[in-house]
Amino acid sequence: MLWAVLQDFRNWGAVHTITAIDPRFERLLPGSGRETLPADEVVSARAGEHEDVYLSLLKRCDAVLAIAPETDGVLSKLAEQAETEGLPLLGSNSSAIATAGNKATCSRLFDLANIPAPVTRTASFLTAAHVAGQLQWPLIVKPVDGVGCEGVCCLNNLSELPSILALIRRTTSQEQILLQSLASGIPASVSLLVAESGCMPLSLNLQLIDAGAPYQYLGSRVPLHHPMGDRAMELAALAAGLIPGLKGYIGVDVVLAEDRVELIEINPRITTSYLALRQVAGVNLARAMWEACMLDILPDRFALNGDAVIRKDDPGSWGLQPGSDGMRTT
């Protein structure tokens, strides 16, 4: 994701980019070396130095794009540190990230706005069995934070609960967990571009998910054509408007049935679908993020050319060829 965003900024050619990389991760993934990341400057950030390096780079920058998970408040902290330095963010502010990153809060906002979503209850690890008895089976049990299906499990009976709770405990430091009714249908997401004055749905994406224990996010296909696609985009845009401070590229997870859409959560950040979307988008996504966040401008139109599939275990699908602009037609 870092490589893709940097390459898009390079293709645009209007900004000077600086990024950091931990030497332990160089060459661990394609394009992750200091010589291969398409930034104007790549700084080494060794173990134990990450925060100091980040804070030092903030003093040299005019704007910040943080790419990180919401887990344990990591993304909101990075955003808050940039805000403390008075820097504009090419994404959501720290308050919006904290709100959207808490799945329990998101669920309450959906309920208050009468947006269709799974029945959701919060519980602690100690009260999970009692709360589960109040809902219809099967259930989804998951941490209140986390990304990429981390710790998300389907609970079919109470005998499975102890092992599921032990698994979730390993994925989160939070004491609160969520239990939800199972939304039946096709797992999908909506990518949106949000500006101060409005938002634009960009694409409906198929989520490739292995419904194991836990669930595993495998990748995505962009775009997904579905009879409820327009309704999904409409509801995703409505959900994005519930949280002041959401901005830039965000994702909204949904489940699509033949005649119904249920919203699952809001991801207040660049999601992995960006990798596929940039390959078929008719505009430069980095430029579009900059203009949305810095100039309050959204594209006049957003055309998609063909489709693209990315898989987490297939680097060849990520569109990371040197010199690639990420855009192709199939």
Domain annotation covers residue 108:
no
- CATH code assigned at 162: 3.30.1490.20
Domain annotation covers residue 233:
yes
- CATH code assigned at 22: 3.40.50
> How far is residue 296's CA from residue 293's CA, in Å, rounded to a whole number?
6
170 and 132 in one domain? yes
Spatial CB neighbours of 321, under 8 Å, sequence gap ≥ 6: none
Domain annotation covers residue 324:
no
189 and 133 in one domain? no
163 and 191 in one domain? no
Q: Is the pLDDT of residue 328 over 70?
A: no
> How far is residue 168's CA from residue 195's CA, in Å, rounded to a whole number?
35
Q: Is the pLDDT of residue 330 over 90?
A: no
Main-chain dihedrals φ then ψ at residue 322, nearest 5 degrees: -55, 130
Q: Is the pLDDT of residue 88 over 60?
A: yes
188 and 169 in one domain? no
Of 198, 65, 174, 63, whose CA–CA distance to 124 is shortest? 174
169 and 86 in one domain? no
300 and 188 in one domain? yes
Instruction: Quickly tell me which residue has 């219809």 as its tokens.
Output: 136
Q: Is the pLDDT of residue 40 over 80?
A: yes
Question: Averaged over 243-250, what is the pLDDT?
Answer: 98
Domain total of the chain: 3
174 and 189 in one domain? no
> How far is residue 124's CA from residue 127's CA, in Å, rounded to a whole number?
5
Task: Name the band, by pLDDT with cuts 50, 70 and 90, for residue 322.
Answer: low
> How far is residue 87's CA from residue 60's CA, in Å, rounded to a whole number?
10
Predicted TM-score (pTM) of the model is 0.93
Residue-wise pLDDT for 57-75, tens only, equals 999 999 999 999 888 899 9
Domain annotation covers residue 99:
no
Domain end marker among 181, 205, 230 = 181
Domain end marker among 151, 181, 211 = 181
169 and 208 in one domain? no
289 and 234 in one domain? yes
Domain annotation covers residue 114:
no
167 and 46 in one domain? no
Task: Name the band, by pLDDT with cuts 50, 70 and 90, for residue 323.
Answer: very low
Domain annotation covers residue 285:
yes
Domain annotation covers residue 17:
yes
Domain annotation covers residue 330:
no
What tokens does 7 get? 């390459």
- CATH code assigned at 263: 3.30.470.20
Task: Note whether 255 and 236 are within 8 A (CB).
Answer: no
Task: Note whether 71 and 142 are within 8 A (CB).
Answer: no
The 8-class DSSP code of residue 183 comes to P
Domain end marker among 162, 181, 200 = 181
Instruction: Quickly tell me which residue has 């297939």 as its tokens.
Output: 314
| Domain that includes residue 10, residue range | 2-92
175 and 198 in one domain? no
158 and 69 in one domain? no
Burial of 105 (0-12, 13-18, 19+ CB in 10 A): middle
Of 251, 245, 279, whose CA–CA distance to 264 is shortest? 251
Residue-wise pLDDT for 120-175, tens only, equals 999 999 999 999 999 989 999 999 887 777 889 999 999 999 999 999 998 888 88
